[in-house]
Each structure stands twice: as C-alpha cells, then as structure tokens.
Amino acid sequence: MEIEEFTQYVIVKAQETGTSDIHILPEDTQYRFYFRIGGKMSFWNAVTEDEGKRFISYFKYLANMDVGERRKPQSGAAQLIVEEKTVALRFSTITNFRSQESMVIRILNQSMHVSLAKTTYFKREVKLIEQLAQFNSGLLIFSGPVGSGKTTTMYQLVRESYLTSKQQVITVEDPVEIEEPLFLQTQVNEVACN
C-alpha cells in the first residue's frame, strides 16, 4: 500500500472508532499505532521502522514542518481530504533518547457552532466566564485533560462575545486548530522570528 493510501486508511479507521488522537510510537524495530478513544490508549496496528518513518515524514511534509529536523520537537497542522470530506489535523513530534521520532495526530472537530450554555452541565460557571470575557483586558486560563473541550470552549466563548460586541478578534495560535471566518487568525511562525 502506498503511503498516501495508508494515511487515508489510518484516518478513516480512526474516525470510525471515535479516535481523538493517533499516537505513532517507535518500539524496537517497528512503529506501533495507538488510538486514543475516550481518553484511553488502544493498540491498533504495527508497521516496520522504515514504514513508520515514512508515515511521519509524509505528515510532516503536509503540515509544512521541517522534514529533515528530528532532534527538536515540532508542531503543525494540515487539512486532508478523506472520503470527500475535509479533515483537520494537528501534529506534534518529539524524539526519544535513541533519536527515534514519534508523532501524535489530533483529529479536530470543525463543526462546533453550538452555544456554550448548551454544551455544559456547569451553567453557573459558564455565566461567570461569559461575564469575565466582557472585560476589555485580562487573562483567562483554561486547563484540563486531552479532549475535554478547552479549545472548543475558548472558540465558543470568543465567538459569542464577538456576536454581541462586534469588535475585531485577532488570534495568535500554534497552530490554528479551528478555522473561524469571523476572526483574523494568525499562526505562530518560529522560522520567520529567527
């Protein structure tokens, strides 16, 4: 199977199982694929070391990451057409002490245009956060486990604030995870900063 076909196959299988993240990890002379489903890692498949490296390099290329750089951690994002649908993906790489690169692929859900109040059980806290978002300055910090909705909550909060105040929203992201046409979104470009 060619690398392009294999990447499509992996993404389709991940979506079919409700996977939020795909972990590609080196183990001895092979790479093992794990799907994060409901917060738990489940083994899915193994490929040869060479195939695993090619898979990671292919996604780094798609995400405009430095394909030749394996020593430093990197992150990037790309959109892939899978079964005639656009799938947004976020990538991060890191290398172990044996100079073997690993990758995590986050499958992003782009269809999150629901009111914040309708997506939570914590109505009182949502009201408080919405009030805090109305201030002209300040800092709100969101934390939580993988897949808990931090990014989605932030986008919904800012989107709702924009719709009521009609002020320009400018974001600085690394990388842009959810495309929002109402915002002026910028992506951190570390190469341009050097």
pLDDT in tens, 86-144: 888 999 999 999 999 999 999 986 555 566 666 666 788 888 888 888 887 888 888 88
Q: Given this model, what pLDDT does residue 53 score? A: 95
Query: What is the spatial distance between Cα 150 and Cα 130, in angstroms, rounded to a whole number?
Result: 15
Query: What is the spatial distance between Cα 87 and Cα 139, in angstroms, rounded to a whole number?
Result: 31
The residue among 83, 118, 120, 90 whose CA lies nearest residue 104 is: 90
Half-sphere exposure of 89 (CA within 13 A, CB side): 29
Residues 54-79 pLDDT 10s: 999 999 999 989 999 988 999 888 88
- 165: Cβ contacts below 8 Å, ≥ 6 apart: 134
> Residue holding tokens 């799907």?
35
Report angle CA 67, 24, 95 to the nearest 5 degrees.
55
For 87, the 3-state DSSP assignment is strand
Domain range list for the chain = 3-108, 116-193
pLDDT at residue 147 above 80? no
66 vs 145, residue with greater confidence = 66
User: How many angstroms separate the most distant Cα atoms in the chain?
Assistant: 56
Q: Which CATH topology does 3-108 take? A: Beta-Lactamase (3.30.450)
Q: Given this model, what pLDDT does residue 108 score? A: 82
For 159, the 3-state DSSP assignment is helix
pLDDT band per the 50, 70, 90 thresholds, residue 181? confident
Report the residue count for the chain.
194
Q: Given this model, what pLDDT does residue 113 score? A: 59
